[in-house]
Amino acid sequence: MRTWQQLSGLDASMLYLETATQPLQVFSVLELDPASIPGGYAYERFRDALAARVRAIPALREKPSERFGNVDHPVWVEDADFDIDRHVHRITLGAPGGWAQLSELAGRLAGLPLDRRRPLWELWIIEGVVGGRLAVLFKVHHSAADGVTYAKLLSQLCSAEPDSPPPEPVAAAAAPTRLQLAVGGLTRFASRPLHLVVTVLPAAIRAAVDSIRRAARGSAMAAPFTAPRTRLNGRLTAQRNVAFARLDLDDVKRVKNHFGVSVNDVAMTLASGVIRQFLLDRGELPEPSLVALVPVSVHEPALGQGRNQVSGMFARLQTQIADPVARLRALAAVTAHAKEHASAIDATLLQDFCQLLGPIVLGIAKRVYARLTQFRPMYNLVVSNVPGPQTDYFLGAEVLAVYPFGPVMHGSGLNITMWSVNGKLHVSLISCPALLPDLSELADGFAIGLKELLAEVG
């Protein structure tokens, strides 16, 4: 029997920091070929196949508990009234059913909040895609999943064969009693000062001293709040827009092998190039380089039970360099320094810090931060590139493409996420139309940038 699990401070912070203009959700858009589904596609059978898989995934049947009587963070409890029809929705894409229409629909759905009274996920089955295909948008609240956890959830809905039987049902954890919640919450809350003195402050001091030493040697990652102000750092609205790009992974590896860098270096260079050209074309390219936040997974069983186990590093994107090869080499060097610097910081520092903070403190902090970043951004955008999960078939339908998306945060109006899946590099961009109304232009720039690098390979 599984034991009940408390939201870590980092998990809970995703609930506390969410606002009407900052929905904190991760999702993906899958392009599917329904021809491989045994017996053919029918909405009811597709939904029922999903329901069978959900019975084997307790995390998709759990919701945050009420905090009544609990002064600490909530716990995950099973929804006693779980109903698959509250989470699965059916919609038909407007004609002609191409990528323009799918992008518009995905942007609208990305901005919709999830119902906190229920397990924090939903899945949209999108019919009417050109060529007789299907699309699926699978969205999970960030409190329930970071990128690694989300990829695991997605892989549990997929299979290596179209007719693979669903796994056996798995029971959810028994819910704690109100007394257990109250006593456990009070005990953990009372231990916070000791946790601050014994764990958090020493780790923070070590990180600060190490950063100063690295800065003196010229080997530190970019410091927070040193990013130039751009249109990316304007005020968010509740609306979202998305765009897609897909590149041949073999072409990316050709560039990697020729210049002796990593796939991530090439991906970062492409992201740097498209945002550089976009701002340059509008006369808005700042002299200093833009700064990206690059999420770093710290998932290790020994580091805790939170569903979010992530840190990050700041990297200057070298947007001041026009030549793509020179930019690639410069980015490879600064990224190596940033990785080394980030790895020297205690992996759990962010989680430990969030463990101390409650909704009131974070509520004040998010308002202050949102205003501060209008004038001095902590960073300009988020860029993430990781290997994607194994996704051959989704509920029997062949997976043709998988586009992953992260949230857009106050002070950083663009998130670029890249997954390598089935021989392709899938590039996903999400922003706010008030800041970047022509997001598809950025997406189109990835193929142009790769073509420029391939021309240098010969």
Beta strands (DSSP E) in 161-290 are: 241-248
- The pLDDT tens digits of the residues spanning 136-182 come to 999 999 999 999 999 999 999 999 999 999 899 999 887 777 777 76
pLDDT at 389: 87
Domain-located, residue 202 = no
Q: What is the CATH number of the domain that holds 132?
A: 3.30.559.10
Please say which residue of 149, 181, 213 terminates a domain. Answer: 181
Quick one: 438 and 350 in the same domain?
Answer: yes
Quick one: 177 and 226 in the same domain?
Answer: no
- The pLDDT tens digits of the residues spanning 39-56 come to 999 999 999 999 999 999
Please say which residue of 119, 151, 181 terminates a domain. Answer: 181
Quick one: 412 and 343 in the same domain?
Answer: yes
Q: What is the mean pLDDT of the chain?
A: 90
Quick one: 171 and 261 in the same domain?
Answer: no
Domain-located, residue 266 = yes
C-alpha–C-alpha distance, residues 307 and 147, integer Å: 10
Domain count, the chain: 2
Domain-located, residue 311 = yes
First to last CA, the chain: 59
Domain-located, residue 121 = yes
26-42: average pLDDT: 96
pLDDT-based confidence at 68, cuts 50/70/90? low
Check: CB of residue 141 under 8 Å from CB of residue 121. yes
Quick one: 112 and 12 in the same domain?
Answer: yes
Q: How many helices (H) and strands (E) does the chain have?
A: 13, 16
Q: What is the CATH number of the domain that holds 232?
A: 3.30.559.30
Strands of the 424-431 sheet, one edge to the other: 241-248, 424-431, 414-421, 381-387, 291-297, 310-316
pLDDT at 390: 82
Please say which residue of 181, 214, 240 terminates a domain. Answer: 181
Say what angle helices 263-281 and 324-344 make with each other, to 10 degrees: 120
Q: Which of these ranges, 197-211, 288-302, 372-386, has the smallest mean pLDDT?
A: 197-211
C-alpha–C-alpha distance, residues 139 and 125, integer Å: 12
Quick one: 153 and 250 in the same domain?
Answer: no
Q: Would residue 142 show up in a list of annotated catalytic residues for this protein?
A: yes
Higher-scoring residue by pLDDT: 241, 355: 241
Domain-located, residue 322 = yes
Which span out of 107-121, 306-320, 336-350, 367-381 was modeled with the highest average pLDDT? 107-121
Looking from the CA of 181 toward its CB, the CA atoms found within 13 Å total 21
Domain-located, residue 296 = yes
Quick one: 24 and 119 in the same domain?
Answer: yes
359-375: average pLDDT: 74
Q: Which residues constitute the domain of residue 243?
A: 222-388+405-456
Catalytic, out of 141, 142, 337, 426: 142
Tokens of 135: 């699309």
Quick one: 281 and 349 in the same domain?
Answer: yes
Dihedral angle of Cα 75, 363, 298, 207, to the nearest 10 degrees: -130
Quick one: 175 and 237 in the same domain?
Answer: no
Quick one: 34 and 168 in the same domain?
Answer: yes
Q: Tokens 């050709």 appear where?
A: 254
